Amino acid sequence: MKIVSVLGATGSVGLNTLKLLQNSKQNFKVLALTANSNYKILSKFAKILNAQYAVIADVEYLPKLKVALKDTTIKCLAGQDSIIKVATLKTDIIFSAIVGMAGLKPTIWALRNTKVLAIANKECLVSAGNILISQAKKYNTKILPLDSEHNAIFQVIDNNNVNEIKEVILTASGGPFWQKNKKQFKNISVREALIHPNWKMGKKITVDSSTLMNKFLEVVEAAILFKLDLKKVKILIHPDSLIHGIVNFIDGTSILIASKPDMKIPINYALHWPIRKKNKFSNLDLAKIEKLVFYKPDLEKFPALKLIRYLYNNKFYECKLIVINAANEIAVKNFLEKKLNYLDIVNLIKKTLNNFKHRVVKSLNDVIVIDNEARKVANKLLNNWYN
């Protein structure tokens, strides 16, 4: 039996994980589930999966969580420190599925006492990738990506010689707007941006997918995870999301990884890694799929992808990544609250980047300080944005 914990258990990735665990109770023992404020779903699944701990970040909800779990032996805890505490308990696999930089400390701490860190949280990988990788090495923990593209590529190049790889290609659905006329972008509403053609996900990543900021983050994520030069990570628009990643090798061979667009497939792979387990997922029926189409992304329509150029000049590379990620988190939050126009999401990121005093990043503390500072710069810019 594998011991498993899920950080961010009530989100889109988290719930997909819990549903798989529910169908595979004989193989897993659930140690801890955590959530931000949704005590109802947290308590429901803590009971179903007979978890040992249910942890809510927002202390205000602790009394309600306790009432919901009063007839059980499940231990109820609250606060960010409690999330970190349960993240360090010994597990075979722990899921990092909190959204944004709120997941950073639990993810870092989780690396100490688990065999596998199954990571969905790309914001942490982008902002503190090198620290995560070096901690994983120190504690002999395997980092296994859940992001569908990276999970696909992991299945091909884990243990492969990086020198044999010419480039990797991440596919992008293109989100809801890739065919929309650029002139209409300025009026895009929150409601429109939250409709994703292929995936049902949390709000933040859904907006990121529409601006293609998600793909920017994923390019960096791939470079970090697979130790590749940024220039070796490419993007293709593939609206059907059936091919998730492509690895082009130096000998002219390419491996394409295909599956239905369902996050349960990469999550299930991670749960059972290093073995593959028979399940109910069907493979693609290629004879029924008339064609697979791919397009080059339009950088003029999606300026988020141009941000990659800020990184080619390697100076303060890590600092720039923290700032871009933090500014994007602030921009998306304000867009969702209808305080920022759609096109200004990337404008705010660029302006924050240009207004920031970049410096060398040496430690986790540097990451946290720079992240906070970047948020302050972005918020200050926002205060005068439409004046």
* Binding residues vs Mg ion (CB under 5 A): 147-149
- State the nearest-atom distance from the C-beta of 122 to ligand NAD, in Å: 5
Distance of CA 231 to the CA centre of its chain: 21
Distance of CA 212 to the CA centre of its chain: 14
Judged by CB under 6 A, the stretch of 11-19, 269-277, 329-337, 344-352 that binds ligand NAD is 11-19
Q: Select 156 or 377, whichever has its Cβ closest to Mg ion.
A: 156
Contact 108, 132 (CB under 8 A): yes
- State the nearest-atom distance from the C-beta of 151 to Mg ion, in Å: 9
Report the residue from 123, 221, 318, 329 that binds ligand NAD according to the rule CB under 6 A: 123
* 131: CB partners within 8 A, 6+ apart: 108, 363, 364, 367
Q: Select 135 or 148, whichever has its Cβ closest to Mg ion.
A: 148
Judged by CB under 6 A, the stretch of 23-31, 91-99, 179-187, 368-376 that binds ligand NAD is 91-99
Report the residue from 9, 193, 270, 370 that binds ligand NAD according to the rule CB under 6 A: 9
**How many Cα atoms are found within 13 Å in the side-chain-facing hemisphere of 70?**
4
| CA dihedral angle for residue 258, residue 259, residue 260, residue 263, rounded to 10 degrees | -120
Q: Does 202 bind ligand NAD (CB under 6 A)?
A: yes
Q: In what order do the strands lie in the sheet with 28-35?
A: 75-78, 53-56, 28-35, 2-7, 91-96, 114-119, 142-145
Q: Does 10 bind ligand NAD (CB under 6 A)?
A: yes
Distance CA 123, CA 96 (A): 11
Q: How do 243-249 and 165-172 pair as beta strands?
A: antiparallel
3 state DSSP class of 346: helix
Report the residue from 3, 18, 46, 57 that binds ligand NAD according to the rule CB under 6 A: 57
**Interface positions, 283-342, toward ligand NAD (CB under 6 A):** none
Distance of CA 335 to the CA centre of its chain: 19
Q: Does 36 bind ligand NAD (CB under 6 A)?
A: yes
A 10 A CB-CB count for 61 gives: 20
Q: Does 5 bind ligand NAD (CB under 6 A)?
A: no
Distance CA 339, CA 346 (A): 14
Q: Does 143 bind ligand NAD (CB under 6 A)?
A: no
Q: Does 43 bind ligand NAD (CB under 6 A)?
A: no
CA gyration radius for the chain? 20
Report the residue from 102, 165, 228, 308 that binds ligand NAD according to the rule CB under 6 A: 102
Judged by CB under 6 A, the stretch of 197-205, 245-253, 328-336, 371-379 that binds ligand NAD is 197-205
Q: Does 249 bind ligand NAD (CB under 6 A)?
A: no
- State the nearest-atom distance from the C-beta of 38 to ligand NAD, in Å: 6
Q: Select 260 or 358, whichever has its Cβ closest to ligand NAD.
A: 260
Distance of CA 340 to the CA centre of its chain: 23
Judged by CB under 6 A, the stretch of 9-17, 66-74, 185-193, 301-309 that binds ligand NAD is 9-17
Q: Select 221 or 344, whichever has its Cβ closest to ligand NAD.
A: 221
**How many Cα atoms are found within 13 Å in the side-chain-facing hemisphere of 67?**
6
Backbone angle region of 85, left / alpha / beta, with phi > 0 → left and psi within -120 to 50 → alpha: alpha
Specify the length of the chain in residues. 387
Q: Select 55 or 319, whichever has its Cβ closest to ligand NAD.
A: 55
Q: Select 209 or 316, whichever has its Cβ closest to ligand NAD.
A: 209
Q: Select 202 or 239, whichever has its Cβ closest to ligand NAD.
A: 202
Positions in the binding site for ligand NAD (CB under 6 A): 8-14, 35-36, 38, 57, 83, 97-99, 102, 120-123, 147, 199, 201-202, 205, 263
